[in-house]
Amino acid sequence: MKISEIVKFQKPYAYFGNELNSIHKEHEGKIKIAFVYPDLYDIGMSSLGYKILYHMLNDMEDVVAERAFSPLEDMEKYLRDTGTPLFTLESHTPVNEFDIVAFSVQTVLDYTNILNILELAKIPLYSEKREYPLVFMGGTAAYNPEPMFKFIDFFALGEGEYELRGVIEKFKIWNKKNKKEFLNEVSKVRGIYVPSHFDVEYGKDGRIKKIIPLHNEMYVIKDVVPDINKSYSPLKPVVPFGRVAMDKANVELFRGCTRGCRFCQAGMVYRPVREKSVERLKYEMEEILKNTGYEEITLLSLSSSDYSHLDEIIDVAEEISRKYHVSISVPSLRIDKFPEKLGRMIVSQRVHTITFAIEAATERLRNVINKTINEKDIFDTVKKAVSLGFHTMKFYFMIGLPTETDEDVEAIADLAKRIYAYGQKFRTFRKPFSVHLSINPFMPQPNTVFQWEKFENLDDLYRKKKIILDKLRGRQFKVDFGFFDMNYLEVALGRGDRKLSNVIETAFRKGAKMDGWVEHFKLDLWLEAFEENGISPSFYTSEIPTDAILPWDHLLCGVSKRYLLFERNKAFQGKTTNDCRNGICNGCGITDFFVCPVLQRKN
């Protein structure tokens, strides 16, 4: 399409493709990759992982990678009405003319978007009916990719930097004639899962009876970057046109987390912990600022307060903030580890809202989920934050957790009231002090301690929501809740097996897409799709027997099933597990596959 045509559409910047630092290469003689984020440009261009892999691929001399996203409704209508295939941003080349179509998928709610993109690109949906282009998928959702097995040729488990290079090397020696030959070869790359290399046998109860390897691989283990100081980091990231969800420079503090929260998937699948040095972080921050013009940097991690050299990086952040006149944000803070020095830096940048995840309001329930904080930690940090000048404190909580009672739910409102009353004592600013709560339901996810537990009945979730709202009234409180119907589907798809491929396709044919957006989400379409395929979503949201074979049992994130069961047993006894960075190795199993930097430091 010509630029003159694109400007007629809503948010035309999502299709221009000539942003600052975007990469334009000749196609001839190169391996052509359409790198697709199956959501809107505004979301995809906020993903650090997506940017890392885009720039890494284009740094390869014999590769050209171009971006594509889910189009907005007006553009999709134009593509369908005119028969125009979905195109990439950089060259406006149809996606179906690329050698490889690679999807970066962070949520199962994007599954129908993937089918929509394939259809818009005029690419056959089914892997078995498609010889070319090759279609594969990576990202967090790939840790249980079974519901998409009919549509995707192969999946990448892990962080991608090494895997993608391996895929490219296998592609170079392929004759482009027989896809099965390529899949046989690419399955030898660490972290690559080819679903056609495994068969699944079901029992009469509908559960998996056996996962049968059909080739040499018995299981697939994720791939990781062992030293992220030497990992690829884009120092000239694409600067999006228009406003996107996270329009700022992003720099990773570290990957992984060893806190061991029993509901948290990221804390398990991103192990082991690997930190960047202060020197590397300073270099990346300065280079990115020079090459982008951003006015804000975010230092990303799963638990930023746990960075080993926090005081030093705060000094660096303050230095860079003064030198370049930019603000530096440090999200994912622990309420039991909030240094005053960090608080002063944040307030000095005229940021007066700070967020912490408490998750559960009673110590008993926090012990169950291994959220090892106590009320002293909470109120000490409230005092510190308010005294420093934070006039809004936001807290994350969950409802529907294993062993939860109504008393635990009521305690959320009670704790919020006590936080407000206590914070008022230390207020030194004119603006009213307020407490904001963000409350989401517990969602059992693969590769977590609670992967076997049930998702709370929707009626009970709405009842618990009412309990909290009835107890919290007044302008000093703001309470936001997750979209429970959407969470219900997310659990069903996230813990699903191969039988859900038909459900996903049926829902898509009925019009389901953009399921991660409240304004587009239609649970009734999904319920109809489940029913038409003779499947109940509650089969996947109910409690799973601990001796059941799970759809992802042959896909290893490095943390052993034995360890998860051990931790589950401790959870129901109300026992906590110490962070292994502060004590002995807890035997999670990661050392069976990877070098553990935490153990290295102790030795």
Ramachandran class of 343: left when φ > 0, alpha when ψ lies in -120 to 50, beta otherwise: alpha
User: Among 91, 90, 104, which Cα is nearest to 44's?
Assistant: 104
| Overall domain count for the chain | 2
Could you give the CA distance from residue 31 to residue 57 in angstroms, rounded to a whole number?
A: 10
Where would I find the beta strands (DSSP E) of 254-383? 254-255, 274-275, 296-300, 327-329, 353-359
Evaluate whether residue 559 is within a structural domain. no
Cis, bond preceding 133 (omega within 30 deg of 0): yes
Q: How confident is the model at residue 597 (pLDDT cuts 50, 70, 90)?
A: confident
User: Among 557, 566, 537, 594, which Cα is nearest to 222's?
Assistant: 557
Region 390-419: mean pLDDT is: 98
Identify the burial level of 516 via C-beta atoms within 10 angstroms of its C-beta, where 0-12 means exposed, 13-18 middle and 19 or more buried. Answer: buried
With beta carbons less than 8 A apart as the criterion, state whether 71 and 79 touch.
yes
With beta carbons less than 8 A apart as the criterion, state whether 559 and 586 touch.
no
CA angle (268, 490, 364) in 5-degree steps: 55
- Residue span of the structural domain in which 362 resides: 249-499+535-541
Expressed in angstroms, the distance from the first to the final Cα of the chain is 59
One domain, residues 216 and 256: no
Evaluate whether residue 115 is within a structural domain. yes
- Judged by DSSP in three states, 355 sits in strand
With beta carbons less than 8 A apart as the criterion, state whether 435 and 423 touch.
yes
CA angle (542, 547, 551) in 5-degree steps: 65
pLDDT at 176: 84
With beta carbons less than 8 A apart as the criterion, state whether 101 and 121 touch.
yes
Evaluate whether residue 229 is within a structural domain. no
One domain, residues 280 and 210: no
At 94-140, the pLDDT tens digits run: 999 999 999 999 999 999 999 999 999 999 999 999 999 999 999 99
603 has a pLDDT exceeding 60? no
Q: How confident is the model at residue 429 (pLDDT cuts 50, 70, 90)?
A: confident
Of how many residues is the chain composed? 603
With beta carbons less than 8 A apart as the criterion, state whether 357 and 395 touch.
yes
Q: Amino acid letter at 8?
A: K
pLDDT at 475: 92
Could you give the CA distance from residue 149 to residue 555 in angstroms, rounded to a whole number?
A: 13
Contacts of 540 (CB under 8 A, 6+ apart): 491, 492, 493, 495, 496, 500
Evaluate whether residue 273 is within a structural domain. yes
CA 584, chain centre distance (Å): 29
With beta carbons less than 8 A apart as the criterion, state whether 170 and 185 touch.
yes
Instruction: Using the Cα atoms of residue 440, residue 443, residue 447 and residue 451 in order, give the sign of their dihedral.
Output: positive
One domain, residues 169 and 283: no
Evaluate whether residue 553 is within a structural domain. no
One domain, residues 386 and 474: yes
574 has a pLDDT exceeding 60? yes
193 has a pLDDT exceeding 60? yes
Q: 218: how many CB neighbours lie within 10 A of its CB?
A: 9
pLDDT at 297: 95
One domain, residues 290 and 208: no
One domain, residues 210 and 264: no
With beta carbons less than 8 A apart as the criterion, state whether 149 and 498 touch.
yes
With beta carbons less than 8 A apart as the criterion, state whether 140 and 255 touch.
no
Could you give the CA distance from residue 574 to residue 370 in angstroms, rounded to a whole number?
A: 9
pLDDT at 600: 64
pLDDT at 584: 86
One domain, residues 209 and 283: no
User: Among 451, 423, 551, 436, which Cα is nearest to 496's?
Assistant: 551
Q: How confident is the model at residue 186 (pLDDT cuts 50, 70, 90)?
A: very high
At 462-506, the pLDDT tens digits run: 999 999 999 999 999 999 999 999 999 999 999 999 999 999 999
At 445-459, the pLDDT tens digits run: 999 999 999 999 999
Evaluate whether residue 76 is within a structural domain. yes
pLDDT at 185: 96
DSSP letter string, 479-532:
EEE--HHHHHHHHHHHT--TTHHHHHHHHHHTT---TTSTTT--HHHHHHHHHH
Cis, bond preceding 272 (omega within 30 deg of 0): yes
Q: Match 């967020």 to its residue by tokens.
A: 355
One domain, residues 155 and 266: no
pLDDT at 250: 94
CATH number of the domain to which 411 belongs = 3.80.30.20
Q: How confident is the model at residue 247 (pLDDT cuts 50, 70, 90)?
A: confident
Q: How confident is the model at residue 190 (pLDDT cuts 50, 70, 90)?
A: very high
Could you give the CA distance from residue 419 to residue 303 in angstroms, rounded to a whole number?
A: 23
Give the percent of the chain with pLDDT over 70. 99
- Judged by DSSP in three states, 436 sits in strand
Domain boundary residue, one of 181, 205, 221: 221
Evaluate whether residue 571 is within a structural domain. no
Q: Two tokens at 96? A: 């179906």
At 292-330, the pLDDT tens digits run: 999 999 999 999 999 999 999 999 999 999 999 999 999
One domain, residues 351 and 261: yes
Domain boundary residue, one of 180, 203, 221: 221
User: Among 471, 390, 465, which Cα is nearest to 435's?
Assistant: 390
CATH number of the domain to which 98 belongs = 3.40.50
User: Among 442, 446, 456, 542, which Cα is nearest to 495's?
Assistant: 446
Evaluate whether residue 103 is within a structural domain. yes
Could you give the CA distance from residue 93 to residue 268 in angstroms, rounded to a whole number?
A: 39
One domain, residues 29 and 137: yes
pLDDT at 601: 63
User: Among 151, 99, 146, which Cα is nearest to 125's?
Assistant: 151
Q: Two tokens at 27? A: 């196609």
One domain, residues 95 and 178: yes
Alpha carbon of 503 to those of 251, 257, 551: distances in Å? 39, 34, 16
One domain, residues 26 and 81: yes
Region 236-251: mean pLDDT is: 89
With beta carbons less than 8 A apart as the criterion, state whether 270 and 216 touch.
no
Alpha carbon of 235 to those of 37, 249, 286: distances in Å? 21, 10, 9
Give the CA count within 13 Å in the CB-facing half-sphere of 529: 24
